[in-house]
Amino acid sequence: MAPPNPKVKAAFRAMTNFGIHESKVKLVLEPCKGHLKRKFIKECWSKCGCRNHCGNQIVQQELPKGAFVCEFVGEILTVKELHERNKARKYTLPILLYAEWGSGVVKDNQPFCLYAASYGNAARFINHRCLDANLIEIPVEVESPSHHYYHIAFFTSRKIEAQEELTWDYGIDFDEDDQSLELFKCKCGSRFCRNIKRTNRMVRSFTDTRQIGILT
Ligand SMILES: C[S@@+](CC[C@H](N)C(=O)[O-])C[C@H]1O[C@@H](n2cnc3c(N)ncnc32)[C@H](O)[C@@H]1O
């Protein structure tokens, strides 16, 4: 049966006259139902009459403390798969999925970490900052009650100004002596930077408690 739209009908006729089979033409010409119509939002800015005192400024605004920013997306790998990937090269710390949290046992075939070297989202571009980063990662259980797999979601640990760089603490121990890990020289600039040799290692005790009450 020919499509009802007159323009499509004409194209249909032309194409079938050209010798293309009816079923193929229908597949090509049927209007797409899956695309959203793109509209845009016009936000107020410094030169509007409102002088930045209205609510029509979502994208430009600072983020309040405790706001959800994004998820960390990557391939879900088991321990075995991670070792396979890293046979040829050193790896940066994978994002652990807190598999079997509590018991500390992760079986070879269970989800172990998120690996974003090949596939990921904007979260893989977030740089590290020791201790006083403005984002914190929280494991979120969505669909799996088995405690093998969590989504890793970033929330703001404090108010973040517009244009401020987003950072999170990768949890790296820069004193680590694991030859398979590719550690970088940290340039986070934090006064708590763990990559600076200190005599006073009190900083470590802050690190250990950083997740406790940070969103309160
Ligand atoms: C997940 S990527 C972050 C995004 C990366 N800067 C980029 O532009 O693609 C991690 C890499 O960024 C660099 N990096 C992140 N935080 C850093 C820091 N505080 N000091 C130095 N290099 C850092 C290191 O090379 C690290 O291996």
Mean pLDDT of 141-157: 82
Q: Whose CA is nearest to atom 8 of ligand 1?
A: 125
Range of the domain at 201: 62-209
Mutate to test the pocket of ligand 1, among 70, 95, 128 (most ligand atoms within 8 A of CB): 128
Q: Over 70: is that where the pLDDT of 156 sits?
A: yes
Instruction: Tell me if 79 is assigned to some domain.
Output: yes
Instruction: Tell me if 52 is assigned to some domain.
Output: no
Residue 80 Cβ contacting ligand 1 at under 6 Å:
no
Instruction: Tell me if 76 is assigned to some domain.
Output: yes
Q: Which atom of ligand 1 is nearest to the CA of 185?
A: 21
The identity of residue 124, as a single letter, is: R
Residue 195 Cβ contacting ligand 1 at under 6 Å:
no
Q: What secondary structure letter does DSSP report for 83?
A: H
Higher pLDDT, 128 or 212: 128
ipTM exceeding cut-off 0.90 for this assembly: yes
Higher pLDDT, 13 or 151: 151
Q: Which atom of ligand 1 is nearest to the CA of 130?
A: 19
DSSP letters for 37-103:
PP-------TTSTTTT-SS--STTSPBPTT-EEEE---EEE-HHHHHHHTSSS-BPPPEE--TTTTT
> What is the sign of the dihedral through the CA atoms of 35, 2, 25 and 16?
negative
What's the CATH number where 174 sits? 2.170.270.10
Domain count, the chain: 1
Q: Over 50: is that where the pLDDT of 200 sits?
A: no
pLDDT band of 206, cuts 50, 70, 90? very low
Q: Over 50: is that where the pLDDT of 125 sits?
A: yes
Distance between Cα 79 and ligand 1 center (Å): 23
With 0.95 as the threshold, say if the pTM is over it: no
Higher pLDDT, 197 or 162: 162
